[in-house]
Structure 1
Amino acid sequence: MIVPEGRGIGTDDCFRILHVSTGNVCRSPITERLTRHALQHRIGDLVTSGLIVESAGTWGHEGAPMEANAELVLADFGADASGFVGRELLDEHVIRADLVLTATRDHRAQVISMGHSAGLRTFTLKEFTRLVRAIDPATLPDAGDEGVVERARALVRAAAALRGWLLAPSPDADEVYDPYGAPITFFRSIGDEINQALDPVVTALTGLPANTPR
């Protein structure tokens, strides 16, 4: 089945962001919950706005809680870690996603290899950040007039069009390394890295900077 305009299948009224890492207990839970936290700070209720943020792992620990150090990282940012349950990445997750953001290039390749026209809507997190920074916000639909969902879809199309023109400065530039089993100091450095990469993405999605009050 072909997915029109890079959007997930069956998502006419919402926009699904899927974060992918390996075990779905460290990087992707942190990224999922930091994304939700940032979006809620800027636009309030995500359901009303039509945004859904999820995560899964290519070798996901199905039903597992996130790592304790990942919870501590989220607490540092005031983000909610409660109720998280690990998931293994399935075809249905990719099919439904409008935007897939992975921790590494290997994860991106694995998602794309699953098919489902995922290539145009799958990026590493840092790759997407780099592309988003190069997009003129004035070329995107206004979230207030046309809604966040339409703006988000346009953002993904614009980023996909730039890929190949705006390359990574180094092989490691698009990677978020796995902190599994590492001390809390390394988890916190990864959390900071993820949070910094997410800020321009959330700004581009919503059209609102980080200091915008709800």
Structure 2
Amino acid sequence: MVEILTVCTGNICRSPLAELLLRTRLMDLHPTVSSAGTRGLARAPMTPESVSLADQLGVPADIATQHRSRFLTEHMLKSPDLILAMSRNHRRVIAELAPTRLRSTFTVREFARLAADLSDAEIIEAATTAGTDAASRVRAAAALVATRRGIAPPPKSQTDDDVTDPFGHSWQTYVSSANQLVPALDEVERVVRAALA
């Protein structure tokens, strides 16, 4: 079974939105998608703005309102096949907790940037070398994306690999944050689907 983990700070805005969107989009593939925060309140709900965004993006509000935040632990990083941080700072925390997981860990926008130049055929070929196990295929695809580090053109600004934290800001900031997140998730979905083709 494929396992994907999304990570942000408080686990009440960006990472749960990413979790719910990926779970909804990939439902037919039956992955386990979860999220966690590097700090923040324990068992807090998603912000109302994030619930509203989730609803607008196709996740029923009753599902989004069930979310409760949790703290990221080293144990949580052992099994995911793909770990998607919302910012470079979150990726750094993950690297400190589990340095052996670097080939499977990206900011979500970094992943999209690196994967953009890979064709479905290249992803399928890399996944095929891993055999028929779904988790192994996704790990192989993630490793292929990781090989683009240092080869793909860097972002114009380092912050281009981050999803803006909307917490405590205006509705427009929430919308802007979602506008950064959603195209990156499009690319994640493409890679996962190609890996499992």
| TM-score in terms of structure 2 length | 0.87
2:71 to 82, 88, 93: 88
CA contact (8 A) 1:141 1:154 kept: no
1:76-129, Cα deviation, whole Å (9 max, x unpaired): 111141421100001111112221111111110110011251211111000000
The residue aligned with 2:143 is 157
State how 1:120-131 maps to structure 2 within 5 Å.
120-131=103-114
The residue aligned with 1:29 is 16
> Which sits farther off after the overlay, 190-199 or 136-145?
136-145
CA contact (8 A) 1:141 1:150 kept: no
The residue aligned with 2:192 is 205
Aligned CA distance change for structure 1 residues 206 and 148 (closer, same or farther; 3 Å)? farther
The residue aligned with 1:59 is 39
In structure 2, how many angstroms separate the alpha carbons of the residues matched to 1:16 and 1:123?
15
RMSD value over aligned CA atoms?
2.1
Aligned CA distance change for structure 1 residues 60 and 94 (closer, same or farther; 3 Å)? farther
Aligned-partner SS, 1:96: coil
| TM-score in terms of structure 1 length | 0.80
Measure how far apart 1:169 and its partner are. 2.7
Q: Which has the higher helix share?
A: 2
The residue aligned with 1:6 is none
Matching residue's letter, 1:197: A
The residue aligned with 1:193 is 180
Overall identity of the aligned pairs, in %: 31
Matched, 1:181 2:161: no
Question: Where does structure 1 lack aligned partners over 5 or more consecutive residues?
Answer: 1-13, 209-214
User: Which 4+ residue blocks in structure 1 deviate beyond 3 angstroms?
Assistant: 141-151
The residue aligned with 1:212 is none
Measure how far apart 1:38 and its partner are. 1.5
State how 1:71-86 maps to structure 2 within 5 Å.
71-80=51-60, 81-86=64-69
1:104 to 60, 63, 87: 87
1:137 to 116, 120, 129: 120
Aligned CA distance change for structure 1 residues 204 and 71 (closer, same or farther; 3 Å)? same
1:152-207, Cα deviation, whole Å (9 max, x unpaired): 22211101111122222321210111100112222122122211111021012113
